[in-house]
Homo-oligomer: A and B are copies of this chain.
């Protein structure tokens, strides 16, 4: 990541006056990613990809604890497969990339690059599942997918992205729906504990649900501009794909029945969520569980005092042994330059070690999340760092949670909604449930329904924020990425 002209690349736009440019500046200048040569594509540079690897490891272990196994299915799907589920093709066809030729030869059947894999996996499940003994079947794949989007932004919306897609199969609708809800909880725990990200979870509206699902559940995270980022979804698919791909099993009662399915996914979008929920005027602020570098040691005045580097290297080894992802920055640059460099990159802890510190057997520690500075005895650093990192994670979560809670506004009219949205808030509103009101709000205020409020108990006692008719739901409206 060393770069001769860091002094200039470190300059990022002001988060308060130009949030959009701030976001892309942070993405590019912290070397998380770069633009690919084809419009709408992106490159995951090592620093960004390492965050994804850490998310993957944490997610994968949670999936396996749910009895899920990994597999890998072909990326190329016969175009005809997409057509078999009516809603599914309608939802995905416009953004699907199609392979027509190999070399100079035209293919007999056009192939699409998977936008998601329900169809091809359905085809194989129909082959593999024959008896109730084969159920439940819980597979996941880590893969690239392609959805051609008109407006693209790094991590948030690119024509190719990386994700995981879980595809589970059950004998009954209840089990399949329960799995979709269970995986939503798994995602929420991952967001909270690993990304320090508070999320709102709940049912999506008919309009916002996955093309081909009976119900979609989502988790929404609030970004610092008050917009929502859909950060993970789980779907109860009913027997829609079972019927389209003839996935049946012989039940204990001797009859053949269609299976019921769920699917669920999170993607490299989560990196965008981390950037926008935690970042600040100095750049990235990474949650320790996914930070590629959790602590950076800055030796100060090492040129004049070789003992400093020796001590830094010894501390580095100790921290590594304590399971901390540590880096020692011994480049020939000023301390101030290095402070900026690693602040931009969001490293949770900076450990400064100079000649005077060394003489006093201490180090100065600076937290990225609070800018708090304090000294620690040199021989206590390795032991204290893991708990410090855990404290940083908890504090980052608490800060983001406070921010989220203080930016949710109960609104009773469209005027209130408009003001709340313009003030960078989510709207907690009652809604009749009709698509027309949803469409009107989207058109007039650029806000969409995100997820149902967890408390639906009094929804029927209120009137719709838009049309004034009887409400059927309490739901969050927000502007969204």
Contact = CB atoms under 8 A, between A and B. Distances in A.
Contacts of A127: 34
Max count, chain B CB within 10 A of own CB: residue among A96, A97, A111: A97
Interface string A140-169: 000110101000000000011010000000
Interface stretch (A13-21, A64-72, A382-390): A64-72
A70 B41 contact: no
Interface in A69-127: 69-78, 81, 93-104, 109, 111, 113, 120, 123-124, 127
Contacts of A159: 76
Contacts of A95: 102-103
Interface in A20-55: 34, 36-38, 41-46, 49-50, 52-53
Given A4-B131, A70-B46, A74-B42, A98 B102 contact: yes
Give the interface size class of chain A: 35 or more
Contact of A99 (B42, B99, B123): B99
A418 interface: no
Contacts of A102: 95-98, 148
Nearest to A99: B97
Contacts of A162: 72
Contact of A101 (B2, B37, B75, B98): B98
Majority secondary structure of chain A interface residues (helix, strand, loop or mixed): mixed
A133 interface: yes
Given A2-B134, A41-B76, A76-B159, A46 B71 contact: yes
B100 A98 contact: yes
Given A37-B78, A134-B3, A73 B43 contact: yes
Given A100-B98, A101-B100, A102-B148, A37 B123 contact: yes
A72 B44 contact: yes
Interface in A303-349: none
Nearest to A101: B98
Contacts of A409: none
B133 A2 contact: yes
Given A42-B74, A78-B38, A81-B37, A93 B103 contact: yes
A130 interface: yes
A139 interface: yes
Contacts of A109: 38
B98 A70 contact: no
A377 B34 CA distance: 59
B70 A50 contact: yes
B74 A36 contact: yes
A103 B96 contact: yes
Contacts of A52: 72
Contact of A75 (B46, B71, B72, B144): B144
A50 B38 contact: no
B43 A74 contact: yes
A120 to B, nearest CB: 7
Contact of A43 (B2, B4, B72): B72
A131 B70 CA distance: 42
B75 A160 contact: yes
Nearest to A102: B148
Given A37-B74, A75-B144, 9 more contacts: A3-B134, A37-B78, A37-B81, A41-B76, A46-B70, A49-B72, A52-B72, A76-B97, A99-B113
Interface of A: 2-4, 34, 36-38, 41-46, 49-50, 52-53, 69-78, 81, 93-104, 109, 111, 113, 120, 123-124, 127-128, 130-131, 133-134, 139, 143-144, 146, 148, 159-160, 162
Which 3 pairs between the two chains have the least Cβ-Cβ distance? A46-B69, A44-B72, A41-B74
